[in-house]
Amino acid sequence: MKSLKATGHQLADSGFQLTVLSQGEAQAASLPRFRHKLAEAGLWPLRPVAPAVLQLNVGKMCNQVCRHCHVDAGPDRTEIMTRETMQLCLDALAASDIQTVDITGGAPEMNPDFRWLVEEIRRLGRHVLVRCNLTIIVANKKYYDLPEFYRQHGVEVISSLPYYSADKTDRQRGQGVFADSIRALQMLNAVGYGQEGSGFTLNLVYNPAGAFMPGAQAGLQQQFPAAAAGVMCRTTLSVGWDGQLYDCDFNQMLDLPVATAARHIRDFDPAALAARAIVVNEHCYGCTAGSGSSCGGTTA
């Protein structure tokens, strides 16, 4: 299976994706513009609060091709963050009060400088989160020691599965993914991850896909302000593989950069970033529906 970009699919183009989002809005005439909903909640323009997380997308290369992947990652994607750009991120981190670095991809472990980056972040005394797809751990012998590497550096591992059965997981992520994921989880367990009292954190996110019964309308309306107020873009700054700055990983994939004059990590300006208005579009409903959703869980 190839990425959408490799097949020349029109949805690989961020401009076309934004057009689709606009058309969806026109078709659902009863759905107000997201910014109008923010205004109703007293949150327009949406602005950041104290930055807590620097999220680094170190590349779109991945050992899997998943049908649901908003990054359109895969083995055929060659975009990866260079060590030079990583150093710029480290310089910005050292000059800031940000205490947590969230490393994502693709499969971030496939970046040849991934381990160096983790070591340098830890040398600065900052907490490291790695978004691991699990199967990378068993994809090649050179990755077999990843659980031990994570343990040695106190890395918090965040992984997800579409479902708790092989059939539905493999349908979304590919044949054999569920079995490989369980094997990787066992390897993480063996070094202490997921073991009570070990001090090594493994967050396993359950993210089912499919049709589900909607929540009560009144309850959802009441939850929106809290969900919107807690969206991760208010406390997280996203850095693309090329060093460009975004309000979140989803804006990054839609090529919607931060609304500041300086848009690259080399020009990191905490004051300007703190004063910016966060760029929103209709896809932002995905982070505010129900109790809200983020890379760290619910927001309300």
pLDDT at 105: 96
Tokens of 59: 């590349």
Tokens of 205: 């996110």
Statement: residue 215 has pLDDT above 70: no
Quickly state the pLDDT bin for 226 (edges 50, 70, 90). Answer: low
pLDDT at 132: 97
Residue that is written with structure tokens 């908003």 in the block? 70
pLDDT at 158: 97
Burial 80-115 (b: 16+ CB within 10 A, else e): bbbeebbbbbbebbeeeebebbbbbbbbbbbbebbe
pLDDT at 119: 99
Tokens of 64: 């899997």
Predicted confidence (pLDDT) per residue in 44-99, tens digit: 999 999 889 999 999 999 999 987 788 999 999 999 999 999 999 999 999 999 99
Predicted confidence (pLDDT) per residue in 142-190, tens digit: 999 999 999 999 999 999 887 777 888 878 787 888 999 999 999 999 9
Residue 191 identity: V
Statement: residue 233 has pLDDT above 60: yes
Predicted confidence (pLDDT) per residue in 246-297, tens digit: 999 999 999 999 999 999 999 999 999 999 999 999 889 888 865 444 455 4
Q: Which whole-number Å values give the CA distances from 298 to 40, 207, 236, 238, in the listed order?
A: 21, 12, 15, 19
**How far from the centroid of its chain's Cα atoms is residue 191's Cα?**
25
The Cα–Cα gap between 100 and 106 comes to 20
pLDDT at 256: 96
Other beta carbons less than 10 A from residue 22's beta carbon: 12
Statement: residue 208 has pLDDT above 80: no
pTM of the entire predicted model: 0.89
Note the CATH number of domain 49-287.
3.20.20.70
pLDDT at 171: 82
The Cα–Cα gap between 73 and 22 comes to 24
Q: For the ranges 20-24, 65-69, 236-240, which has the lowest average pLDDT?
A: 20-24
Q: Which whole-number Å values give the CA distances from 232 to 36, 77, 248, 298, in the listed order?
A: 19, 27, 8, 10
pLDDT at 192: 98
